[in-house]
Structure 1
Amino acid sequence: MADATEQPPFRPLPQKAPDVEMRTAPGGIHYIAARHAPGPRPRTIPHCLDERAAEHPDRPFLKERDPETDEWVTVTYGEAARITDALGQAFIDMGAGPDAPVMILSGNSIRSAMVILAAQKIGAPAAPISVPYSTMSTDFEKLKHCYNAVSPKVIFAETLEPFKKAIEALDCDDCTVFSADTGGDNTVLSYDTLAATEPTAAVREARDRLTDESIGKYLFTSGSTGMPKPVPTTQGAMCSMIAGQEGLRDSGRDPDHDPDAVENLLDWLPWNHISGSNVNFNGALWNGSTFWIDGGKPTPALFHETIRNVRDCSPSVFGTAPIALAMLAEAMEADDDLLMAFFRNMRSIGYGGATLSDDLYDRLQALAIKATGRRIPIVTMYGATETQGITVVHWEAERVGLIGLPLPGSTLKLVPNGDKLEVRVKGPSVMPGYHNNPEKNAEVFDEEGFYCLGDAVKFVDENDPNKGLIFDGRVGEDFKLSSGTWVSVGTLRPDYVAACSPLIFDAVICGQDKDMIGALVWPSPAGMEQLVKENGGDMMTAFRVLTEKLAEKTAAFNAGEPGSSRRIRRVMVMTEPPSVDAGEITDKGYVNQRLVQSRRADLVAALFSDPPGQGVLSL
């Protein structure tokens, strides 16, 4: 990374400076909590919607592109309150309620948002499900597992046809299905008809019975370690996370801040996970922002849509996965108009799900300086489905890899585990326990009631905890070489993938009890497409060039690493993509390192055989 003393200043982040207290207990256990108190919060998410609708009924709340006209369609806060009242009444009439959830199969859309909020308004948990479970799966086992786990009374799929086989695979005779496009199926109710229902006092009465203990959503874990587990996400948990963020707010630090300006948020992150739903969506609702639903995704086929939407939206904040930021940086480096559109109103860039590389950090800062003359705060939040967001980088950090410090209201417990510190958390945003799974709950909470995340962290400076914590990998993914040397997969993998960009999109780090580290890698579709184009459409030649370039980049990576715990000595390019059905990869892009190695044991064996197997690069 560039020397900070030679760089322009940051645009100030309107957040309070770090101020934590740390207590060390016997055994080297550290307890860390913010001295900042939590700030204001809504009574519940449905109450927040109705309050914002009363304050500014005509302000745009949600925007999305109409698939037929390609024009932006808008729902105002006032319209959203009326629609959710109507749908809430329809759900009551269908028998939905606290013990009868509403399941959402389709992805982010205005209608999906209305269904999620309407369900919460009448106390029926909303259960948004990962779209690939319905559209990319062949056996629908994860979908059926989710359905049976929560027993919904109502199912919504925006367009019926892509979800028809999945719905037919469910035993849902006692469940009402509705869609915006019924495809002529007279057994499926119409969204428009339900959204025109005349609400009664029952909707308002149900809303006002909500408490902090009311379950607002069932969010399912990503399924990276077995079948997805239903996490009861309470109104108190969602609102407490808002309070934690409000406890850090300090708008006075940013002289450019206009308290009357309406923020624009452009976001694609799926609403079946906390980042997209409970951080970004709920945060936009609390702040009275306009949420632009991004139909793009960080894939070669769809990212052009995100770029197009950036030009229209000029967002105030933008958060996404590092892979998307890399694609965006590449596009902005070649297009000054896009660069100016992105940074025109930008206050901060957020990332999550993986570590940002130093190289990408420097590229983004160079672009920010070119567009604005200043550096841009690049921040992240850390958490899990079970905990909501629990730490955040709320200062202008000069480095990447940080996960920040605890949000006000939460306490971290760092427990020595080998040569690492395992992170645990307690606070109002943490789940009460998995739904109907007492055995698992006994495993994941320790004797003091702290939830065990399975991740490790380390201090930037052990003598000054205010400098923050660094993600140090997943405890269960790390392994030892035959020499007894520990390999930190959580830090090595993203560094190696970044070093090999744009050739690969992810890697599986192998080598437990071996003499060296090996890597199974997936080629980047965009990188492979470019190589095929450069070689006249010849796939075989392109693949040969890929392996040659990969060998060069791996050798360069190894040259900069001091020890055996960081050097990749064997590499194989995988031709079979990661399997969603088998649990190798989640829809968030998380790769289950151990499961891939188990499922592809023949490739792992080829990596370490003597001589190396066919297709293995030896360095």
Structure 2
Amino acid sequence: MKRTSNFLPHAVTREDRPDGSLLLRSEYDLGPVTERTGDWLHRWAEEAPERVFLAERSGAGWREESYAATLQQVRAIAAALLARGMGADTPILIMSGNGVDHGLLSLAAQYAGVPTVPVAEQYSLIHGAHGRLRHAIELVRPKMAYVVDADQYGEALKLDALEGVEIVATRTGGADVTAFADLLKGDAGIDVDAGFAKVTPDTVAKILMTSGSTSNPKGVLTTQRMMCVNQTQLADSLPFLRARPPRIVDWLPWNHVFGGSHNFNMMLANGGSFYIDDGKPVKGLFDRTVENLSMVTGSLVFNVPMGFAMLLEALEKDAGLRQRFFEELDMIFYAGASLPQEVWSGFETMAMEIKGEVPLMTSSWGLTETAPATMIQQEPTESSGVVGVPMTGVTLKLIPDDDMRCEVRVKGPNVMPGYFEDPQKTAEAFDEEGYFITGDAMVFVDKDDINKGMRFDGRISEDFKLLTGTWVRAAGLRIEMLSTLAPLAADLVVTGQDKNEIGVMIFPNREAIEAAGFTLEEDGGALVCPQLLSDIHHRLNERAGRVSGSSTRVVRAIVLAEPPSLTDAEITAKGNLNFRKVLTRRADLLERLYDDAASGIAKL
């Protein structure tokens, strides 16, 4: 199968240290780094003033903002912020999701040296999640907060934690708030150039909230340097970014580092165009994504595995969309989990039919604290799940815990200086050599050839022991079980800590289950259906014949009736399961899973 030739081969050096740790570095040099995001905006407003930078749906078409218009509006908003006396100590809380005005305000704040704090829109729109919103407000103490619609966000805006905070809204409704249009008027008495000149690589551009899956969310100090360096690292690894301006149609949320820093800044740094997809890969909203793609397609596509599975199905049904989707496509980039191999193969087949070659199909690895990209699979590979090699300017410190698996630590200019007003957590986050302790594990694809890259192998903290003392690598097992139970399982939690056997608690894909003709009934928080449980039992039994050892053999399963709750922190704003919270909140169902006399479970 012909794969794209537009890539940079892996080239990694390895240093074996006396303490058993390994250091990995790229042999390529880090390219030139811009000092501030505003410099990118100035460059493209001069070189390509009429090119679309940001766009969102407006009626039957798009509201499109060119680079020149974006710069003009950003400078006006920056003047309005500086006129209010805002600076490094007066953050702006952004409570709404992706939108052109959200993007303009973020860039203007960065231009003026004012940190923004984007939070998940669900925290404002779901009453039960207001506690998380309150935590963010009380942590960062914003001077301003932005929402797209004051009526829609009205309940959240009444929180006492926002008392004294200036509220800005694009659509003010009947609320007594500042209109976003007023910020666009700027302030003629402000020297915007002087304000911009004070912004340095060390200026904090954002305070990004961690998911809070193991503790209260922390605020990651994200500097101009981190974001600018990371885009150089990405362009060093992906030469087609510099060869022609990229274009994306993307839904990934801007409160998360992947959507809001990685993807947003990739367009800005390389003079690209960002079309905001107001659809999502969930039932009832994905049709909007398909509609948007029928109007504009990208040269790069980013998504989570579920999104790619839904997209593949849509492309199979529409030959015209399939042609437009692939004809200028340089890269398919998945994130969040390993892409199922059948989905991977489906995209390969389509690409060959349309283009005669497969674009770069890839992923990378990083965290909020690393801006995020730190490792990337920058050359073609045959299968999903590989996160590649260190990017330019990064040193990986690998601490082996067995023959193949390593704990990963990171040092580089894309790593955060620390957590907002939390010196203790900051100190705990770095080892004695200054490496950031990620808590993630990796394995080499081929331990005899480091240029084959590495695979993500879960969080160290997610591993557990059975009563026998056998370690269970929960993250890798979860991914395998999702494949085994596809498409019946939307997600699952691996169980077995301090038990004799491994089990799984399954969040069902109801649409797929109903399409299979299974009739579901709820029984005490579990879904009970003899045919469904028989199907799961058959799959577990078939898999058991292919694996050996108690560390990988899944013996029992239960199907959960209630989806994961954002209100009760079972799922993070990024869409990731909080495994500990699920197990704690559903302790009765966990107990039922291990009761051999209980009904509604599948057991080998």
- The normalised TM-score by structure 1 is 0.93
| Aligned Cα root-mean-square deviation (Å) | 2.0
1:81 aligned to which of 71, 75, 82: 71
* 8 A Cα contact 1:558 1:568, kept in partner: yes
1:274 Cα deviation after fit: 1.3
2:221 aligned to which of 205, 225, 232: 232
1:567 Cα deviation after fit: 2.4
1:360-413 deviation per Cα after TM superposition (whole angstroms, max 9, x unaligned): 222221222232232232111110011121111100011221111111011111
1:98-137 deviation per Cα after TM superposition (whole angstroms, max 9, x unaligned): 1101111000000100011111110000111111111124
1:35 aligned to which of 27, 34, 55: 27
* 8 A Cα contact 1:60 1:290, kept in partner: yes
1:24 aligns with 2:16: yes
CA distance in 1, matches of 2:530, 2:80: 59
Partner of 1:194: 183
Q: Which runs of 5+ in 2 are unaligned?
A: none
Aligned partner of residue 258 in structure 2, secondary structure: helix
* 8 A Cα contact 1:528 1:542, kept in partner: no
Alpha-carbon distance change, 305 to 49 in structure 1, aligned in 2, over 3 angstroms: same
1:560 aligned to which of 546, 563, 573: 546
1:216-250 deviation per Cα after TM superposition (whole angstroms, max 9, x unaligned): 01111112112211011000000111121233344
Aligned partner of residue 363 in structure 2, secondary structure: strand
1:516 aligns with 2:501: yes
Alpha-carbon distance change, 348 to 146 in structure 1, aligned in 2, over 3 angstroms: same
CA distance in 2, matches of 1:458, 1:204: 49
1:336 aligns with 2:319: yes
Partner of 2:447: 462
- The normalised TM-score by structure 2 is 0.95
Deviates more, 1:450-459 or 1:586-595: 586-595
Deviates more, 1:202-211 or 1:448-457: 202-211
CA distance in 2, matches of 1:139, 1:242: 33
1:408 aligns with 2:392: yes
* 8 A Cα contact 1:49 1:77, kept in partner: yes
1:601 aligns with 2:591: no
CA distance in 1, matches of 2:514, 2:283: 9
2:169 aligned to which of 168, 179, 185: 179
Q: Which runs of 5+ in 1 are unaligned?
A: 1-7, 252-256
1:364 aligns with 2:347: yes
Alpha-carbon distance change, 456 to 301 in structure 1, aligned in 2, over 3 angstroms: same
- The letter of the residue matching 2:544 is N
CA distance in 2, matches of 1:435, 1:317: 33
1:165 Cα deviation after fit: 1.3
1:102 aligned to which of 81, 92, 99: 92
1:173-230 deviation per Cα after TM superposition (whole angstroms, max 9, x unaligned): 3311010111121x20111122122455532211111111100011111121122110
2:432 aligned to which of 447, 454, 459: 447
Alpha-carbon distance change, 137 to 355 in structure 1, aligned in 2, over 3 angstroms: farther
* 8 A Cα contact 1:85 1:199, kept in partner: no
Partner of 1:162: 152
1:616 aligns with 2:604: no
Instruction: State the identity %.
Output: 35
Alpha-carbon distance change, 258 to 176 in structure 1, aligned in 2, over 3 angstroms: closer
- The letter of the residue matching 1:99 is D
Deviates more, 1:482-491 or 1:470-479: 482-491
CA distance in 1, matches of 2:188, 2:444: 54
* 8 A Cα contact 1:40 1:243, kept in partner: yes
CA distance in 1, matches of 2:214, 2:514: 32
1:331 Cα deviation after fit: 1.9
Aligned ranges for residues 52-451 of structure 1 at < 5 Å? 52-66=44-58, 69-138=59-128, 140-185=130-175, 187-251=176-240, 259=243, 261-388=244-371, 389-417=373-401, 420-451=405-436
Aligned partner of residue 138 in structure 1, secondary structure: helix
1:543 Cα deviation after fit: 4.9
1:300-329 deviation per Cα after TM superposition (whole angstroms, max 9, x unaligned): 121111122222212100011111111111
Aligned partner of residue 221 in structure 2, secondary structure: strand
Aligned partner of residue 290 in structure 2, secondary structure: helix
1:288 Cα deviation after fit: 0.6
Aligned partner of residue 161 in structure 1, secondary structure: coil
CA distance in 2, matches of 1:557, 1:367: 30
1:296 Cα deviation after fit: 1.1
* 8 A Cα contact 2:83 2:187, kept in partner: no
1:528 Cα deviation after fit: 4.3
CA distance in 2, matches of 1:546, 1:159: 44
1:592 aligned to which of 555, 578, 586: 578
Partner of 1:502: 487
1:539 Cα deviation after fit: 6.5
- The letter of the residue matching 1:10 is R
Alpha-carbon distance change, 221 to 137 in structure 1, aligned in 2, over 3 angstroms: farther
- The letter of the residue matching 1:442 is A
Alpha-carbon distance change, 576 to 320 in structure 1, aligned in 2, over 3 angstroms: same
CA distance in 1, matches of 2:578, 2:269: 34
1:44 aligned to which of 36, 40, 63: 36
- The letter of the residue matching 2:289 is T
- The letter of the residue matching 1:566 is T
Alpha-carbon distance change, 199 to 462 in structure 1, aligned in 2, over 3 angstroms: farther
CA distance in 1, matches of 2:76, 2:101: 13
1:550 Cα deviation after fit: 3.1
CA distance in 2, matches of 1:326, 1:200: 53
CA distance in 2, matches of 1:529, 1:30: 50
Partner of 1:11: 4
Aligned partner of residue 292 in structure 1, secondary structure: strand
Deviates more, 1:580-589 or 1:221-230: 580-589
* 8 A Cα contact 1:94 1:153, kept in partner: no
Deviates more, 1:73-82 or 1:370-379: 370-379
* 8 A Cα contact 1:269 1:275, kept in partner: yes
* 8 A Cα contact 2:122 2:129, kept in partner: no
1:568 Cα deviation after fit: 1.8
Alpha-carbon distance change, 406 to 147 in structure 1, aligned in 2, over 3 angstroms: same
Aligned partner of residue 463 in structure 1, secondary structure: coil
1:457-515 deviation per Cα after TM superposition (whole angstroms, max 9, x unaligned): 01112222111011111111111223333221111112211222221210000011322
- The letter of the residue matching 1:393 is Q
1:81-100 deviation per Cα after TM superposition (whole angstroms, max 9, x unaligned): 11111111121223321110
1:155 Cα deviation after fit: 0.6
1:276 Cα deviation after fit: 0.6
1:359 Cα deviation after fit: 2.4
CA distance in 1, matches of 2:205, 2:369: 14
CA distance in 2, matches of 1:445, 1:562: 38
* 8 A Cα contact 2:238 2:378, kept in partner: no
Deviates more, 1:126-135 or 1:556-565: 556-565
CA distance in 1, matches of 2:426, 2:302: 31
Alpha-carbon distance change, 183 to 565 in structure 1, aligned in 2, over 3 angstroms: same
